[in-house]
A and B are shown apart, each in its own frame.
Chain A
Amino acid sequence: MGNKKLMLGNEAIARGIYEAGVKVASAYPGTPSTEISENLVQYKDDLYCEWAPNEKVAAEVAFGASVSGVRSFACMKMVGFNVAADPVYSAAYTGVNGGFVLCVADDPGLYSSQNEQDTRAICRAAQIPCLEPSDSQEAKDFTKLAYEISEKYDKPVVIRTTTRLAHSQGFVELCDREEGHDFKYEKNIGKFVMLPANAIKRHVIVEDKMAELAKDAASFEINKAEYRDTSIGFISSGIPYTYIREAMPNASTLKLGMVHPLPTDLIAEFCSKVDRVIVFEELMPVIEEQVKAMGIACDGKNIFTRLGEYSANMIREKLLGQAPAAPAATDIPNRPPILCPGCPHRSTFYTLKRLKLHVAGDIGCYTLGAVPPLAVIESCLCMGSSISSLHGMGKARGPEYLHDWVCVIGDSTFMHTGVNSLMNMVYNQSTGTVLILDNRITAMTGHQDNPSTGKTLMGETVPAIEFEKFCRGIGIENVFTVNAFDVDELTKTIKREVKEDHLSVIVVKAPCALIPEARSKKKCVPNPDKCVHCGACLKPGCPALTRNADGTIKIDATMCNGCGLCRQLCKFDAITEVE
């Protein structure tokens, strides 16, 4: 088998970064891109990698490293690409010194995201070359190729992945790291300072370079015309290409490794050699519209949906007329994701529910506070939006309106963009109650560190940014820290603060139940003799708690994390905590 290894798409991209001789990598975690950085750490003797507080910062770090003359990298999920859009659109104008590559992970099917946006469309708008691999080997190879393209055409280059590619494993052939890709820095104000007078000239270069790249792309090996039966010719890329190979292995295919700019000459040639052209691409008709604009008739979104993931069965049904496979069972209960047993957010949300407060939410595990039985979060838009939304509500309806509202934001999300929103509240004299749910980790994406945890991606211990000090530092006087599991204290503090016409921040603190060293050694144990079947303990919706047939409470000892929330809610001492 030689030097082959089974690797996740994300693992393979990390390997590609290493092999390409990259020296600086920065990222903010986001499913499905997170494992790229987590896998980069193993190469830390050869490269620097970090968690940045947000994607804009990560892209700018990579830009700076590139200007200085080394190969650099930033990665993010697709909504993070919006955050990074500001530097990225202008970096398309400045171009690079050392190769500058970004990986952006889309999420068709919405496994872990708030929308189904298509990164290829943004690459088109920003005039940035975009490569799309279809398996782990290509993920590594395309990453390395992206650096060559970046340096040759003087452009940042995007590797676009999807959840299915990022989280699928396939064989990857390992190579050695290449060194010697450093460039000398030379002062070049006309190139790297985007004043209007410079940018107007750079825009000409942007268009020229993209035209040149589109022409050269016809001979790129990653854009492959494969002629088989020519009655149907598919144009596709990425994972959807693999569905064609499964469902119609005899059909001709034009597999595009580069999805922006398109190799128009190659497309024209391919289309002239097949009887019918079908563009098979998930999400937006990015390729289809450009093929049509070339004056070529083709099918695409008239047959296949803009929604969700594609499959081989979709081709079998829509094009081969095969009967659909047996349908899924209906009328069975869903199993939505839930807050874990022992999660500190459960205690917080149950408290907010009992206080009958409205909650503006944010992005993280705690978005699950919108799900029954808690169902207290009433809005959630994007990273950092909870605080700004609350501010907007207050400005629209006045301070009294906010007596029934709070907003909640996690530690990492606060560091990401919540800080800006909170500064806005201070500056524009807002009232309102902001809850920072500090569980000591970036939890939803699988436990990454952030500026408030005191640890870096590369494992160094560093000073942690403290929320209380930070908030006081920007001029907020009413800042309180409360243990998330101290229901009485939490209730008292929130109840008091929402009624005040001032800005207050409550740091609700308790570590994520999945942090091994934070795990409680205790377990909650029911005492059926004292249980009056009132069900008060069941209300927060802890999955470890169910009822026995006789109405008493059963606590699953393998699930219970001993957080003690149910014990605090029981007025009859029917639950005890044991070591």
Chain B
Amino acid sequence: METKNIMIVGVGGQGTLIASRILGGIATTAGYDVKLSEVHGMAQRGGSVVTFVRYGDYVAEPIVEPGQADVLIAFERLEAKRYAHYLKKDGVLIVNDTRIDPMPVIIGAAEYPEGIIEEIEKEHTVYKADATAIAIELGNARCFNVVILGMAARHMDYAVEDWHKVIEKTVKPATIEINKKAFDAGYALAE
């Protein structure tokens, strides 16, 4: 199989590392070669963070490069815009339709761009949802990342049961059920 390139982008502290653990877990279930690359350290303090996941018959480099992403999973709109050029021509954007102001916007040194999703929609297929609102409705705002993963799962090569198993192994025991519900909610959205 040709290598599939997935990216997760977001704001440090939003739970990108847990999402990448789940993606890594699912990628190992099908016997493909897998590589993942994450950002640790300074950027995790509220900076822009990115995780790359690649799987296929043989994966050499651990990163996804501009113009190569099959699926871009963005936990926030501005981060979707920052990394949209990583998408392939037929690449798909899954975006949490929410806004987190970066410090230059908070202090009035820059403006948060308008119409981000509309602009990306001109070039790429976009699936958007206010995953944070869905997660709050399910009972835990922090599960929004798994809602988004559920949406992305539609564009990956793994069965729902396998995702559930990986979620069971990855998240804290107390949050397994709510995370599975969050996944299902996201999966249903991207239909």
| Residues on A facing B (Cβ under 8 Å) | 1, 6, 8, 31-32, 34-35, 111-112, 135, 164, 167-171, 239, 242-243, 245-246, 249, 311-313, 325-329, 331-340, 365, 368, 371-373, 444-446, 538, 541, 543, 545-546, 558
Looking at the assembled complex, report how far the CB atom of B53 sits from the nearest CB atom of chain A, in whole angstroms. Answer: 9
- Selecting from B101-109, B149-157, B174-182, B183-191, the interface stretch reads B101-109
Looking at the assembled complex, report how far the CB atom of B47 sits from the nearest CB atom of chain A, in whole angstroms. Answer: 4
- A242 — which chain B residues lie within 8 A by C-beta? 60-62
A-B pairs with the 4 shortest C-beta distances? A325-B67, A112-B41, A31-B41, A337-B47
Please judge, given known A-B contacts A111-B42, A337-B42, A372-B103, whether A169 and B79 are in contact too, CB under 8 Å. Answer: no
Q: Apart from A1-B31, A336-B103, A337-B42, what are 15 other A-B pairs with CB-CB below 8 Å?
A: A6-B36, A32-B41, A111-B41, A167-B39, A168-B35, A169-B62, A325-B66, A326-B66, A333-B113, A335-B78, A336-B102, A336-B104, A339-B45, A371-B103, A372-B104
- B11 — which chain A residues lie within 8 A by C-beta? 335
Interface residues of B in 28-77 (CB under 8 A from A): 28, 31, 33-48, 59-63, 65-68
- B46 — which chain A residues lie within 8 A by C-beta? 335, 337-340, 543
Q: How far, in whole Å, are A538 and B101 apart by their CA atoms in the complex? A: 13
Please judge, given known A-B contacts A167-B38, A332-B82, whether A337 and B43 are in contact too, CB under 8 Å. Answer: yes
Q: Is B13 an interface residue (CB 8 A)?
A: yes
Number of chain B interface residues as a range: 35 or more
Q: Is B110 an interface residue (CB 8 A)?
A: yes
8 contacts between A and B (CB under 8 A): A34-B40, A164-B62, A170-B62, A171-B28, A333-B110, A334-B104, A337-B44, A340-B45
- Contact yes or no, B38 A168, CB < 8 A: yes
Q: Which of A326, A328, A445, A558 contacts B82 (CB 8 A)?
A: A328
> Please, which residue of chain A has its CB at the minimum distance from the CB of B53?
A169
- B24 — which chain A residues lie within 8 A by C-beta? 6, 169
- A339 — which chain B residues lie within 8 A by C-beta? 45-46
> Please, which residue of chain A has its CB at the minimum distance from the CB of B32?
A171
- A6 — which chain B residues lie within 8 A by C-beta? 24-25, 27-28, 34, 36
Looking at the assembled complex, report how far the CB atom of B51 sits from the nearest CB atom of chain A, in whole angstroms. Answer: 10
Looking at the assembled complex, report how far the CB atom of A36 sits from the nearest CB atom of chain B, in whole angstroms. Answer: 12
- A334 — which chain B residues lie within 8 A by C-beta? 48, 102, 104, 110
Q: Which of B25, B85, B141 contacts A328 (CB 8 A)?
A: B85
- Contact yes or no, A338 B103, CB < 8 A: yes
> Please, which residue of chain B has its CB at the minimum distance from the CB of A169?
B36
- Contact yes or no, B81 A329, CB < 8 A: yes
Q: Which of A167, A239, A325, A445 contacts B85 (CB 8 A)?
A: A325
> Please, which residue of chain A has its CB at the minimum distance from the CB of B13?
A340
> Please, which residue of chain A has its CB at the minimum distance from the CB of B84?
A329
> Please, which residue of chain B has its CB at the minimum distance from the CB of A309?
B63
Please judge, given known A-B contacts A242-B60, A325-B85, whether A168 and B66 are in contact too, CB under 8 Å. Answer: no
Q: How far, in whole Å, are A68 and B24 apart by their CA atoms in the complex? A: 41
Q: Which of B40, B78, B111 contacts A31 (CB 8 A)?
A: B40
- Contact yes or no, B103 A365, CB < 8 A: no
- Contact yes or no, A338 B47, CB < 8 A: yes
- Contact yes or no, B42 A112, CB < 8 A: yes
Please judge, given known A-B contacts A335-B78, A372-B107, A546-B106, whether A445 and B61 are in contact too, CB under 8 Å. Answer: no
Give chain A's interface secondary structure class: loop
- Contact yes or no, A325 B47, CB < 8 A: no
- B33 — which chain A residues lie within 8 A by C-beta? 171
Q: Which of B41, B45, B67, B113 contacts A338 (CB 8 A)?
A: B45
Q: How far, in whole Å, are A170 and B45 apart by their CA atoms in the complex? A: 26
> Please, which residue of chain A has its CB at the minimum distance from the CB of B101?
A546
- B38 — which chain A residues lie within 8 A by C-beta? 8, 167-169
- Contact yes or no, A327 B62, CB < 8 A: no
- A338 — which chain B residues lie within 8 A by C-beta? 45-47, 103
Please judge, given known A-B contacts A6-B34, A35-B40, whether A311 and B78 are in contact too, CB under 8 Å. Answer: no
Looking at the assembled complex, report how far the CB atom of A359 sits from the nearest CB atom of chain B, in whole angstroms. Answer: 19
- Contact yes or no, A332 B81, CB < 8 A: yes
- A372 — which chain B residues lie within 8 A by C-beta? 103-104, 107, 109
> Please, which residue of chain B has its CB at the minimum distance from the CB of A367?
B42
- B102 — which chain A residues lie within 8 A by C-beta? 333-336
- B31 — which chain A residues lie within 8 A by C-beta? 1
- Contact yes or no, A329 B85, CB < 8 A: yes
Q: How far, in whole Å, are A64 and B81 apart by their CA atoms in the complex? A: 53
- Contact yes or no, B65 A311, CB < 8 A: yes
- B62 — which chain A residues lie within 8 A by C-beta? 135, 164, 168-170, 239, 242
Looking at the assembled complex, report how far the CB atom of B120 sits from the nearest CB atom of chain A, in whole angstroms. Answer: 10
- B105 — which chain A residues lie within 8 A by C-beta? 333
Interface residues of B in 95-146 (CB under 8 A from A): 101-107, 109-113, 141
- Contact yes or no, A541 B85, CB < 8 A: no
Best-buried of A239, A249, A333, A558 by chain B (most CB within 10 Å): A333
- Contact yes or no, A326 B34, CB < 8 A: no
- Contact yes or no, A541 B103, CB < 8 A: yes
Best-buried of A34, A167, A371 by chain B (most CB within 10 Å): A167
- Contact yes or no, A325 B65, CB < 8 A: yes
- A34 — which chain B residues lie within 8 A by C-beta? 40
- A335 — which chain B residues lie within 8 A by C-beta? 11, 46-48, 78-79, 82, 102-103
Looking at the assembled complex, report how far the CB atom of B74 sits from the nearest CB atom of chain A, in whole angstroms. Answer: 13
> Please, which residue of chain B has its CB at the minimum distance from the CB of A341?
B46
- B63 — which chain A residues lie within 8 A by C-beta? 164, 168, 311
> Please, which residue of chain A has its CB at the minimum distance from the CB of B10?
A335
> Please, which residue of chain A has its CB at the minimum distance from the CB of B113?
A332
- Contact yes or no, A333 B112, CB < 8 A: yes
> Please, which residue of chain A has its CB at the minimum distance from the CB of B112?
A333
Q: How far, in whole Å, are A112 and B47 apart by their CA atoms in the complex? A: 12
- B67 — which chain A residues lie within 8 A by C-beta? 313, 325-326
Q: How far, in whole Å, are A246 and B45 apart by their CA atoms in the complex? A: 32
Best-buried of B35, B85, B103 by chain A (most CB within 10 Å): B103
- Contact yes or no, B78 A167, CB < 8 A: no
Looking at the assembled complex, report how far the CB atom of A393 sits from the nearest CB atom of chain B, in whole angstroms. Answer: 27
Q: How far, in whole Å, are A558 and B133 apart by their CA atoms in the complex? A: 12
- B112 — which chain A residues lie within 8 A by C-beta? 333
Looking at the assembled complex, report how far the CB atom of A408 sits from the nearest CB atom of chain B, in whole angstroms. Answer: 17
> Please, which residue of chain B has its CB at the minimum distance from the CB of A168?
B62
Q: How far, in whole Å, are A372 and B35 apart by their CA atoms in the complex? A: 36
- Contact yes or no, B41 A445, CB < 8 A: yes
> Please, which residue of chain A has its CB at the minimum distance from the CB of B107?
A373
- Contact yes or no, B65 A337, CB < 8 A: no
